[in-house]
């Protein structure tokens, strides 16, 4: 269980996998991927006070949406699984509307590593939202990144930078 902005995230994992990792690693720490992203966004929001923000993150068959008000208080954190691109555009715009965001004043940020880019959804969203920016988080300084030939997922890049 992790707490961010007085919100607790309780999550479940495969019991056998948890037991295996607990037995074979020295004091492992387990994170939910959305909490790692929210910890990153908490730091970023300190630089972006005074405007509402939406962050979206694509990974595998999932898309996470995080919404913050003008004072950087979290409004929503939602994950969609297995949706096609048109539905992801709909869900994003629906959440934008529910939060009362202004298409000319507020910002939509797309979090990604260089390997996690969905070009269709941002291009469709740009017809409705003026301020869309991509935030690429590089794992180049990560000690884990240097030992692999593959790009790490964004949550692994964030935790390796801690």
- 103 touches 133 (CB < 8 A): no
Please check the confidence at residue 26 and state whether its pLDDT lies above 80: yes
- Residue-wise pLDDT for 75-122, tens only, equals 999 989 899 999 999 999 999 999 999 999 999 999 876 555 667 888
Q: Calculate what percentage of the chain has a pLDDT beyond 70.
A: 78
Residues 6+ apart with CB under 8 A from 157: 113, 137, 138, 139, 142, 145
The predicted structure's pLDDT at residue 111: 86
Please check the confidence at residue 146 and state whether its pLDDT lies above 50: no
Strands 131-136 and 107-112: parallel
pTM: 0.78
Per-residue confidence band for 32, with pLDDT thresholds at 50, 70 and 90: confident
């Amino acid at each position: 269980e992790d707490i961010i902005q007085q919100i607790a995230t309780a999550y479940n994992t495969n019991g056998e996998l948890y037991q295996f990792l607990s037995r074979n690693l020295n004091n492992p720490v387990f994170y939910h991927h959305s909490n790692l992203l929210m910890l990153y966004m908490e730091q970023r929001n300190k630089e972006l006070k005074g405007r509402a923000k939406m962050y979206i993150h694509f990974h595998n068959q999932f898309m996470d949406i995080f919404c913050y008000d003008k004072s950087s208080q979290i409004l929503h954190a939602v994950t969609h699984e297995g949706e096609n691109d048109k539905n992801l555009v709909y869900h994003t715009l629906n959440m934008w509307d529910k939060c009362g965001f202004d298409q000319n004043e507020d910002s939509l940020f797309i979090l990604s590593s260089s390997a996690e880019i969905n070009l269709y959804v941002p291009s469709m969203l740009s017809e409705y939202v003026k301020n869309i920016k991509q935030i690429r988080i590089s794992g180049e300084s990560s000690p884990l990144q240097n030992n692999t030939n593959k790009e790490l997922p964004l949550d692994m890049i964030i935790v390796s930078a801690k």
